[in-house]
Amino acid sequence: MKVLNYSLLDVFTTTPFGGNQLAVFHEGESLSTGMMQKIARELNLSETVFLSPPNDSDNQRKLRIFTPQMELPMAGHPTIGAAFLMADQDLVQTGEGISEWTLEEAVGDIPVIVYKEEGLITKVEMTQPLPSFGERFSKTEQIAKLLSLAPADLHTEFPIQTVSTGVPFLFVPVRSLAAINKINFRSDVWEQHFSKNEATQHLFVFTTETEDSASTVHSRMFAPAMGIPEDPATGAASGPLGAYLVEHAVIPATENGVYAIRSEQGIEMGRPSFIDITIVKKGQEFQQVKIGGTAVTVGKGQLYLEDTKN
C-alpha cells in the first residue's frame, strides 16, 4: 500500500474556511495521469495540485493541476497556494524579503514571487501569460437566460467577450450587485447553447459595484465543464479579468500604464476571497499580467493507494 501525504489550504484569504480550498500532494512524480484525475475526483475540490521535481533543475517544482473533471494547463489558486505551502513549510528554501521562483506548468514556466516578512509568508504573486482577446458573444438574451437574469441586468456598454491568459473565460458584465446576487445558473441552458464551444464553457460574471470599499469588482465564476458549479476564487480568470477591465476602459486609465485591481469573489458562497491583480499596459500593448494573494494551511492528510498504475 502506498501512502500519499497532502496538505489542505484555503487560498486568497487570511481566514480559515474563506477563500478557495486546495489539496496539495507532496509527491506526485510516482502517479499516473489517470490516478491524479481519480484523486481529484475523489476529493472533489475546485482544484487539486500534484508537486514533482522540475524538468529544469534551475526551477523549483513542477505542478500538475486537476479539477474533478479535467487537467488544467495553468491555474491561479493552485499556483499561489502551492507556492505558499512550499515557502511556509520550507519545502523550498525561502529567505526574508523577496524570493523569485519559476514553477513548471503545462502552459510553460510560471514566474512566482514570494514575500516573507519576519518569518511569515505575506503574499505570493504569479505572472501569467499575456492576454489574448477572443470572440464577442452577441446573444445577450441567451446569456441572460443562462444566468436567470433579465436582459436589462446586463451592462451593454461593455462587450461579452472571451479573454485568456492560459485558460479562456467568457466575461459577462452586469450592472449591479443586486443583479449578480440573484444569479441562478441554469445548467440546461449551458448544456444546450454553451457547452460545445470552448470559448463559452467557463463564464465569469462581474460588476463594478462591490461589497468591500477596497475592491474594484465583485465577481462570480461558473465552470460546469470543469466540474465546478461555482468557484469561490479563480486566479486563472483574474488575470484576464484585469486585462478586460483595462482594455475596455471599465476602470479609469492611469498615467504610467500600471493598474492595481482587486477582485472580490466567493461572497455568495460564504467563502469571501480577495485577489490582487496587476496589469501593465503601455500604449496598445500589454506588458505584464500578475495576480497575487495569500493562503492559510487548514489541515493535512493521507491517502492510501493499493495500486498507483491506473
- Residues designated as active site: 47
| DSSP H helices in the chain | 33-43, 76-88, 140-147, 177-181, 187-193, 235-247
Determine the Cα–Cα distance for residues 19 and 41; give it in Å rounded to an integer: 20
Local structure of residue 12 (DSSP, 8 states): S
Q: Sign of the C-alpha dihedral, residues 204, 208, 209, 215? A: positive
Report helix, strand or coil for 277. strand
| DSSP H helices in 148-222 | 177-181, 187-193
Is residue 154 within 8 A of residue 172, CB to CB? The reply is yes
User: Among residues 160, 154, 156, which one has the least CA distance to residue 135?
Assistant: 160
User: Among residues 79, 45, 86, which one has the least CA distance to residue 63?
Assistant: 79
User: Among residues 156, 260, 160, 271, which one has the least CA distance to residue 205?
Assistant: 160
Determine the Cα–Cα distance for residues 307 and 310; give it in Å rounded to an integer: 7
Determine the Cα–Cα distance for residues 58 and 161; give it in Å rounded to an integer: 38
Q: How many CB atoms lie within 10 A of CB 213?
A: 5
